[in-house]
A = this chain, B = another copy of it.
Amino acid sequence: MQPLKSRPVIVLNFKTYREATGEGAVSLARIAERVRQEQGVNIMVSVQHTDIYRVAGSVNIPVLAQHIDAREPGSWTGHVTAEAVKASGAVGSLVNHSERRLTLADIGACIAALKRLDLLSVLCTDTPETSAAGAALAPDMLAVEPPELIGTGISVSKAKPEVVTKTVELVRRVNNEVIILCGAGISSADDVARAIELGTEGVLLASAYVKAKDPYGLLASMAKAAKDSFRR
């Protein structure tokens, strides 16, 4: 398998979509596994907490949690620790997704906890400025997503290219190592290519994949576009 930090990166967020729950999550992860192997692109899936064990146990693809709480193991009913997602087979977690925002203090604590357990951190942010702030916390990956475009099918790389380029510029002043992704509205191979041409190293997408009529075809074309744009 490619190393977890090999680039370009495609993170597939399954959210809590009905199609991507339980057996559905396993099926969609299996398709992603196939494309990952065929294309040699670093594709990961981010699944619901309840599906981590099931997917990680049956599919050979890196599995991310969608969220962790800034809590050590202990007396915290209904919370999700870094230790728990690791014990169920995840290799890392999204942090601070637009639909699950965290305090700055908790983002710091989550990234530190993931590092401590040798887990991958994928920090989500909303603007170039908060991206630079997040980069100062040294996550492994950083995904900028203007919330107003999430789920619209209008891709950030086309609708707001200046958000992407400004993010790359501000982040690089603070951190040279973080892998920069962008998300929100990524729906086609062309969106992926544009994202990478703007200076990112991959994308984060959700509904376009989960609800695709032909998820295999879509993802294969995206992976190919990512590879081709990244090489140039």
Interface residues of A (CB under 8 A from B): 13, 15-18, 21-23, 46, 48-54, 65-67, 71, 73-81, 83-85, 87-88, 94, 96-108, 112, 125-127, 129-130, 132-138, 147, 150-151, 170, 174, 206-207
Please tell me if the beta carbons of A127 and B108 are within 8 angstroms of each other in the complex: yes
Residue of B nearest to A108 (CB): B130
Please tell me if the beta carbons of A129 and B125 are within 8 angstroms of each other in the complex: no
- What are the residues of chain B within 8 A of A126 when measuring CB–CB? 105, 108
CB distance from A208 to the nearest CB of B (A): 12
Number of this chain's copies in the assembly equals 4
Please tell me if the beta carbons of B150 and A16 are within 8 angstroms of each other in the complex: no
* Distance, CA A96 to CA B79, complexed state (A): 12
Please tell me if the beta carbons of B127 and A133 are within 8 angstroms of each other in the complex: no
Residue of B nearest to A99 (CB): B77
* Distance, CA A133 to CA B106, complexed state (A): 13
Which of A74, A102, A130 is the most central at the interface, judged by chain B CB atoms within 10 Å of its CB?
Answer: A130
Known A-B contacts A78-B97, A207-B75; the reply to A83 vs B129 at CB < 8 A is: no
Residue of B nearest to A130 (CB): B108
